[in-house]
Amino acid sequence: MNLLKPVKTGMITGLRLLMPSCREALRLQSDALERPLPPARRPGLWLHLLLCKWCRYYGQQIRFLRHAAHEHPDELTQAAPQKLSPEARERIKAELRRKH
């Protein structure tokens, strides 16, 4: 065990130099929805996603959020229970009559 520990530490340190941390991988995946990532960041992120299923799920899920919001604007707006209050309704009608 004592012999393996430095090997393991060395491997992890090596990988950490090659790829972003999970925290950075989240940010990079969000940024990737806004602009092409700088070429220097791509291989590291790719490697990270290959090895880390959590960050992979995270990326899928924020892309799902985009898809959901973009494809279903009415569900976001329409089904809200709020209605124009009767007072506002009357006020606006009166205003419309005045200007019409």
Partner 1 sequence: MEKDNAPASDPLPPGLSDPEQWVELHGDYLFKYALMRLRDPAKAEDAVQETFLAALKGGKTFAGRSAEKSWLVGILKNKIYDHYRKASRETSFTDLEFYSDEESERFVPDGLLKDGWIHELGPSEWSSPGASLDREVFWKTYRDCSDKLPKNVAAVFNLREVDGMESKEICALLQISESNLWVMLHRARMALRRCLDTHWFGKQAGAPGESTCKDSRRGPTNHHESTLSSDDP
List phi, psi (to 5°) of 62: -75, -30
Task: Name which position in 3, 24, 38, 46 contacts partner 1 (CB under 8 A).
Answer: 24
Should residue 80 be labelled a site residue for partner 1 when binding is judged by CB under 8 A? yes
Please identify, using beta-carbon distances, which residue of 39 and 100 lies nearer to partner 1.
100
What does the alpha-carbon distance between residue 26 and residue 63 come to, in Å, rounded to a whole number?
A: 12
Task: Name which position in 26, 37, 41, 47 contacts partner 1 (CB under 8 A).
Answer: 26
Residue in this structure with the two tokens 């973009």, named with its chain if needed: 70
Among residues 28, 74, 77, 20, the alpha carbon closest in space to that of 51 is found at 20
Should residue 37 be labelled a site residue for partner 1 when binding is judged by CB under 8 A? no
Site residues for partner 1, 4-23, by CB under 8 A, read 9, 12-13, 16, 21-23
Please identify, using beta-carbon distances, which residue of 43 and 68 lies nearer to partner 1.
68
Please identify, using beta-carbon distances, which residue of 3 and 34 lies nearer to partner 1.
34
HSE, side-chain direction, 13 A CA sphere, residue 33: 15
Residue 56 is which amino acid?
R
